[in-house]
Structure 1
């Protein structure tokens, strides 16, 4: 929010979340049925009462009226996260418009008491910045920002690291028990065993470990050679565990990747990189709580491929949208992890415009080698972005592959890509002639996302 009283978008609200688990929990609370007594003021204050597990609803108030200090939060829940899921849910509800959270209201007494304390401290010269308070819903005092806040943040980070370490140690023991008893027991135990283990990783504040454990639960009995695939995934999970436990001895970029993989998302701290970014692909994945949008960009000047992630609450599309085939003059900042592909859009210098530019491509053999090289730096990488030059989609038994027009190598399509309607758009665009295809190349195969005809023509989205 750049002005007082201007509603943030859902994507801007979700950017405030301290982690992915908070994004999902906050999205689940972004419904009017969970709230009562909601309202907002022209000054940028939002409040409401949220149903909790007890008889008394949680009093939640967010002050967005301090552009220098940033948002501040007050909630009666016991969570130590700032913002908590109730504050995120309230802001997501508020982002939906006047019908859910009316504007132009006066704050209730319990919210005004806390706000008055904040104003008094700011007026007395205190530098009260972004943060939050917890309590029964009244208006307790909050220590000023500065060295005390940084020290508190350091202690919170240390406590979370300790919880993740305890979770990773427990997960190591569970993997050892599985291998000791034999992989056949995984099929007999059913999905409940994995869900319970994943819940333990959520308790340890390691959502990345929890996600990988849930993926393990879908493998037993899933088809031929499932024990092989289960053993492979167990090995990768073991490697991630050991990476976290020994992170102090890792190179800094690899340590940042390990932190990201277990669920510790850092900020985009790379220097801003301005370029004319070609929009290569855009597609959404959704679950019951969150919609995630992936946007692939290619810098026509830098030659760099970057990934933007955008989030939307359940049932809502993410705010950021960049149609395929356009180019945008913008600045991106990279996240601190191996490969530095993921980035944040820090500033747009102009609106997206049509372009005839295309990314350079490689052969299918080079694409496979590129993925192999990337795995040395990030063993948990599912795929890498690749543009293939002069390939032809051809049947391969019950599946399909992309074959080099002038060579004897090919890449199989990923199983999920074969079932998509985009495959037939690709076949129609090719008509047996070579085409340029951008997509994701990984251990499951190649997933085509966008294609260009051999001659002049616009980009065709395949997802």
Structure 2
């Protein structure tokens, strides 16, 4: 429940409100929980939550979402302190309004999907994207022809203008990759890194223009350009894999007024998966996958040469605490090499290292396995991980990028799962 809080202050305030004496007319059923909390004014604040989404409502003037009253109510409910009851009229009205809005959104989504599938609409977009990709190809040639030295002091608009043209060409994913290049010249060793990024973009542009790519690789190329599949289509047609999935890490990032939550899973068979959720800043994201738990579930994967992104299609039973199966450093490097061979544009991959200890030198912190092989760790604050390990081996999970391993969670024999 605390994972739904928009910030630490809201979580703390919600804990103070989570007292049965402060609530009246509280109740719950299989779909919702509700109650009235006495505030500083004459009237009590009416708070309720739909449990499936989750979704929230409160009559208080707070701009935080969910507010402390909703958080307090959910904490009481999770502790079993809210008994079953009949819904008040104001709760029934809110749930009915949500149902009607959902139906209208579904109808609008169906109309939009029909337009996308219309051959004329699809052909028009293909032409727009092709023109945008051709423009990017020429832009990349110009950057290399003029030399990279200018990039060090170039204004942000050098990349932003190119990205805007791609947005206009309906190639949004490609635009995001170009826009992110503005940060590269501010990093150590930037010339080699920038040239590498330009080369990967040129490879993507070239691949998009080919008609003889294998089907899965073509899906990967189109997804990285900006052609996306809807969730309904993935659930209906995507490859489904049932396994016991350990939730090994979660990370939120904010960009362009959108917060993205990446939740990494690893199956007992060793297969990785990535579940994404999106929301406006301050709005709650999907919190149903809890780091340190394991669930028996069927996942539907988006198509691609190295399928990672997936949707949870079906759950079988409740999640339980679990420790993921890890591998050695060499084992992970072999996994990463195979993944990059399938998808050259892969920029991150989950790693679970088994029985690693921490070592520090002048270059930073390292995860060292029993074979004395190591991977560099990226941690703004390493003290929590150092305290948890206490010099002893741990199972360490993280997100591997070109800059190193961003540690996300650790499992200790005595402490259990610890989120970093």
TM-score, structure 1 normalization: 0.65
Q: Does 1:284 align with 2:252?
A: yes
Structure 1 unaligned residues grouped into runs of 5+: 13-29, 31-38, 47-61, 74-82, 84-129, 133-144
Deviation at 1:8, TM superposition (A): 11
Deviation (angstroms), 1:172: 0.6
Name which of structure 1's ranges 284-293 and 249-258 shifts more when overlaid on structure 2: 284-293
Partner residue, 1:385: 350
Q: 1:262 aligns with which of 225, 230, 243?
A: 225
Partner SS state of residue 307, structure 2: coil
Change (3 A) 1:175 1:280: same
Cα 1:362–1:187, aligned 2, differ >3 Å: closer, same or farther? same
Question: Residues 363 and 252 of structure 1: is their aligned pair in 2 closer, same or farther, counting only changes over 3 Å?
Answer: same
Give how far 1:366 is off. 2.6
Q: Distance in 2 between matches of 1:402 and 1:42?
A: 52
Paired with 2:135 and 2:54, the residues of 1 have a C-alpha distance of 35
Kindly indicate whether residue 405 of structure 2 is the aligned counterpart of residue 446 of structure 1: yes
Candidates 203, 216, 228, aligned match of 1:239:
203
Q: Which residue pairs with 1:169 in the alignment? A: 134
What is the correspondence of 1:390-429 to structure 2 with a 5 Å cutoff?
Answer: 390-404=355-369, 406-413=370-377, 417-419=378-380, 421=381, 423-429=382-388
Answer whether contact 2:356 2:367 (CA < 8 A) is retained. Answer: yes
Which residue pairs with 2:106 in the alignment? 71
* Shift in Å, 1:182: 1.0
Q: What's the C-alpha RMSD, in Å, of the aligned pairs?
A: 3.0
Superposition deviation, residue 457 in structure 1: 4.2
Deviation at 1:166, TM superposition (A): 0.7
Say if 2:396 is the partner of 1:437.
yes
Q: Distance in 1 between matches of 2:282 and 2:353?
A: 34
Residues in 2 aligned to 1:173 and 1:197: alpha-carbon distance in whole angstroms: 11
Contact 1:201–1:210 under 8 Å retained in 2: yes
What's the offset of the Cα at 1:174?
A: 0.7
| Among candidates 238, 255, 265, match of residue 297 of structure 1 | 265
- Distance between the aligned counterparts of 1:193 and 1:274, measured in 2? 46
User: Which residue of 1 is the match for residue 189 of structure 2?
Assistant: 225
The within-5 A match list for 1:53-132 is 64=103, 71-73=106-108, 130-131=110-111
Query: Contact 1:10–1:318 (CA<8 Å) still a contact in 2?
Result: no
CA offset digits 1:184-242 (Å, max 9, x no partner)? 1223432111111110010011111111111222222x143211111111101111111
Cα distance in structure 2, aligned partners of 1:367 and 1:169: 37
Q: How many corresponding residue pairs?
A: 332
| 1:211 aligns with one of 165, 169, 176 | 176
SS, match of residue 318 in structure 2: coil
Separation (CA, whole Å) in 1 of partners of 2:129 and 2:357: 47
Q: Closer, same or farther in 2 for the Cα pair 1:171/1:7, shift >3 Å?
A: farther
Q: Does 1:306 align with 2:273?
A: yes
Q: CA shift at 1:328, angstroms?
A: 2.3
Counterpart CA distance in 1 for 2:102 and 2:278 is 23
Task: Please name the residue that 1:274 is paired with.
Answer: 242
Deviation at 1:258, TM superposition (A): 0.6
1:181 maps onto 2:161 in alignment: no
Residue 114 of structure 1 is matched in structure 2 by none
Judging by fraction of residues, say which structure has more helix.
2
Contact 1:371 1:383 (8 Å CA) reproduced: no
Which residue of 118, 124, 134 maps to 1:153?
118
Please tell me whether the aligned partners of residues 288 and 314 of structure 1 are also in contact (alpha carbons under 8 angstroms): no
Contact 2:115 / 2:121 at 8 angstroms: preserved in 1?
Answer: no
Partner secondary structure for residue 352 of structure 2: strand
Q: Structure 1 166/160 Cα, relative in aligned 2: closer, same or farther at 3 Å? A: same
Question: Is 1:339 equivalent to 2:306 in the alignment?
Answer: yes
8 A contact 2:217–2:343 mirrored in 1: yes
Give the 3 Å change call, closer, same or farther, for CA 447–263 of structure 1 in structure 2.
same
